[in-house]
Structure 1
């Protein structure tokens, strides 16, 4: 067996041409698969319609989103609101069904150090997000803007503000009502309002014909009357607070097939 040096010397004194090295041809790149929408029974392929038509169909599917989230301070209900999860739960399936894509394309942020009412250091974040709403054919609505702000003691302020901006975009652009009755819907003569008893509220909560919207209103009335923690006898003969009774029946009726959204 000759060494590398000996083989080099042999080629140097030989008149035979040095064979060209053999190179392996590069492998052909595999083509990327088509990224088609994977239709199924729950979400068939969307109709190829202009974006403004697809967005109208999304609005038609959503219709209304109730104020089902509860803000509680010190164990007491302060108010009801519509959070980002309620917005995504309503718009997510509808946008997928009609081929709508919502994307953030630009975001301007500002920050300010401040303090809470108790003197704890906080960071205020304000964002203005520019959104692009794409339709199934690839066309888009004019760029839209929405703002959000948050107050946080950690590193979640920007994410919270972004979520609020997205919630504002979906609810405002979708013009989605809460489904609550209008305050001016009924004309009421001014006078002393009768004080309802805890048992009256209990009976209305236990009534299967009481709607989810009315149960939410009862919770609000009980909070204003400071009656949330009043004990009453429930349908099983056990003592239960009006707040717990109302929330339990609200969740049970909402979970039933055909329950209100």
Structure 2
């Protein structure tokens, strides 16, 4: 009997293979739209100054909505990703003969362990850009981006975020969100927050990393930053140390 047949007979009595565990949740992303913008034509873009060309880019980029959704690890929010932003800007920049070139990149890195004891690298990139117009003149701009990665992609991610920040900020791109003035809320008596209430909010899995940064600023203003509370392990810990530790854990977990 051949070895192939023997293995087949042994497999008959073998227990069924364990089911494949479900994939972890990831961000729900809509397909990028097709951008159809008429090119500059055979004669190229109109030879105007860099500032005028950029203002025309602003005029063409009317809105980039926050259509991408993140829903994982207990955190939900909408955002405008790098790909969606570049997908909207690239054809418009070409139409008006505008180049966006990084002329100086400054980065800083910090390594730490997340809650799973896995090494993460945080990268902050500050980039000086030169924006050229169709006549060859230019003006400078600067933006910064921050990213986390467990491999070797942190610097590239941070630079991509800095590009998104530059394009959205320099072009003053609307989000399409409701105007804050469209709602009215009558101000009532201010609620006095206690150190314990801040502790509970920091430890809540629904509290985003951005909110934790905001909490830290509130604690400084309220002179509660060094207040001591019982953490989730029943140990004494200052709110400053607790917020920083949880913030790092949330970033390390992709939140």
Structure 1 length as normaliser, TM-score? 0.54
Q: Does residue 1:64 correspond to 2:82, yes or no?
A: no
CA distance in 1, matches of 2:87, 2:75: 23
* Structure 1 CA distance for aligned equivalents of residues 39 and 93 of structure 2: 13
State the Cα distance separating 1:87 from its structure 2 match. 1.1
Which residue of the other structure, out of 149, 163, 170, is the alignment partner of 1:152? 149
Equivalents in 1 of 2:61, 2:129: separation in Å?
20
Please tell me whether residue 122 in structure 1 is matched to residue 114 in structure 2.
no
Give the equivalent residue in structure 1 for 2:45: 46
> Secondary structure, in 3 states, of the residue corresponding to 2:164?
helix
Match of 1:133 among 131, 134, 151: 131
Q: Which has the higher contact order (CA 8 A, sep 6+)?
A: 2
Q: Which runs of 5+ in 1 are unaligned?
A: 1-39, 191-222, 224-261
Pair 1:50–1:114, CA change in 2 (3 A): same
Aligned CA-pair RMSD: 2.4
Equivalent position SS for 1:137: coil
What's 2:108 paired with? 110
Find the counterpart in structure 1 of residue 165 from structure 2.
Answer: 168
Q: Could you tell me how far 1:144 is from its partner in structure 2?
A: 1.3
Runs (4+) of structure 1 exceeding 3 A deviation are: 40-43
Q: Hey, what's the Cα distance between the residues in 1 that align with 2:114 and 2:171?
A: 34
CA distance in 2, matches of 1:61, 1:67: 18
> Is the 1:70–1:77 contact (alpha carbons within 8 Å) kept by the matching residues of 2?
no
Structure exhibiting the larger radius of gyration computed from Cα positions: 1
Q: Which residue of 2 aligns with 1:80?
A: 78
Tell me if 1:96 matches 2:94.
yes
Counterpart Cα distance in 1 of 2:48 and 2:91: 18
Cα distance in 2 for partners of 1:43, 1:186 equals 42
Q: How many residues align?
A: 152
Worse-superposed segment, 42-51 or 59-68: 42-51
CA distance in 1, matches of 2:64, 2:161: 16
Residue 41 (structure 1) shift: 6.0
Consecutive unaligned residues in structure 2, runs of 5 or more: 1-36, 188-205, 207-255
Query: What is the CA distance between 1:68 and its match in structure 2?
Result: 1.0
